Every structure is written in C-alpha cells, then in structure tokens.
Amino acid sequence: MRKRRRKIHTLPLKEQIKREPGLFTVYILLRTAVIGMMIAQIFNRDWQNVMLCILSLFLFTIPSFIERNWHIDIPNTLEVIILCFIFAAEILGEIRAFYVKVPGWDTALHTVTGFLSAAVGFSLVDIINRNENTKLYLSPVYVAIGAFCFSMTIGVLWEFFEFAGDMLFDLDSQKDTIVHEIHSVLLNPSGKNIAVSINNITDTTVNGVSLGIDGYLDIGLIDTMKDLFVNLIGATVFSIIGFFYIKGRSSGKFAKRFMPTLMTKKNLPIDEIKEEN
C-alpha cells in the first residue's frame, strides 16, 4: 500500500514546504513579484494597476480555496500553470503591456485557456461518469465532446466579458487590427445586399484628421475570432489526450497532471483509493 498523501494546502506551513517545495516556491516568487509591483504602482499613483495587483493576489488564493472547501484535488502541474497564467495575464499582460509589446502574447494565453478549460470540463464529466451513485455513463467520445464544448463555452463567455468591458468602460480588451481592405454592404449606394470592396487602403481619416496608420482600423472582430480559433485548438488537443486517457486509464499519466479529482475526508484522491484497493 502506498503512503497516503495529503495535499499541500491541508498541511501546516513547515510540512507544506517540506512535501511540495516546488509548488511553494512558485507561490512565494509570484506573490512577492506582485506585491513588489503593487508597491511600485502605489508610488506611481496608478490606482488602476494597484487594483489589478490586488485582484491577482486574490486569484492566487482560489486553487487553495477550492481544495479546502470543495474537496477537489488540483494537480500540482495544473496549479502552477494557473498561477503563472494569472501572473502572465494580469501583471505582465496588462501592467507591463505585454499584450502590445510582445507579438502573440494574447494568442498564447488564449490557447492555454482552451487547453486548461478542456481539462477542467473533462474532469467534471469524468467525475460524474465514474460516480457509483449516478446512473449516467458516457463513452470516451462523448466525454471528450463534452470537454470540448465546455472549453469553447468558457472562451465565448470570456469574449462577452471583454466586449462588455469595451462597451461599458471604454477599454480595448478586444484589440484592434489594421487591415488594408474592407467589404461592406453598407457602402452599396443601391441598397442591395451586395458587398462593396475597398482595396489597398493606405490611410484612415476621422473627422478630417488622419489617424496616421497604414490601413483601416478593424475594431476587434479579427482579434475575437483569432482568440476563439486558438481556444478551439487548445480544446481539441486536450480532448484528444483525454479520450486516450479514458481508453487506457492506467497508463494516462500525462492527462492526470491537468485533471482535478474528488478527494475523500482523509484528503486522499479517489483515484489513489481505487488503486490501493
């Protein structure tokens, strides 16, 4: 019988450091970096960034809150990725402007979101699927489809959130894109439902003033569709991984690193109890 493992968040601080030094180190480094950034923003009197730092510190506590109160074991790999994702999105992306300075930063984060959302969705369906008290059983294909749909739903809801922020608070969450041609039925002088094309756009003028850009300013549509597309890629990748995990559950070590599981009152994941029995 293997030695029973208690999750880091249910142990005293010294025991946490001893058993999970890597995870604890990530917690300390990220929280220290956020606190340092918050102090710098206070001196700069940038209160919006200060609130982003406070939000990041709050989000860091969510994994431990879920484990303590909902009895769900979050794998260390998944937890580290979640913490780094929060730091990359809020601190590096927003405050340090990586969304603008680093090409593909937003695209990479949305791809990771699709992958992790599929992992969470996969776990939710798989937990119900394996519960002896339920009469529902779904084949691996249906579980994979459910995880994929869950991930895409999360992606769509996030785009709704960004759109609401842009409309209500004059933000630019759905980043603009410079294009050099447009096709619109509104430009058709006859009023017919036939798109009129304008090609080779080299300048955009608003109220008689040139915007100084080499093209036309698309207001977020291309960015939104790109985000949903990379979300689809991430969701598809994990759905395929999860499918083969269910087909050969005993050998699916990679998928387990991203899939939360239910815990018993003794803080032992259900998977480990079944393996011991």
In a structure prediction context, what are the per-residue pLDDT tens digits for the chain, which is 277 residues long? 344 444 545 555 566 666 778 888 999 999 999 999 999 999 999 999 999 999 999 999 998 888 888 878 889 999 999 999 999 999 999 999 999 999 999 999 999 999 999 999 988 888 777 776 766 678 889 889 999 999 999 999 999 999 999 999 888 889 889 999 999 999 999 999 999 999 999 999 999 999 899 999 888 999 999 999 999 999 999 999 999 888 876 566 788 889 888 775 555 544 544 554 4
pTM score, two decimals? 0.84
In this structure, what are the phi and psi dihedrals at residue 179, rounded to the nearest 5 degrees?
Answer: -120, 160
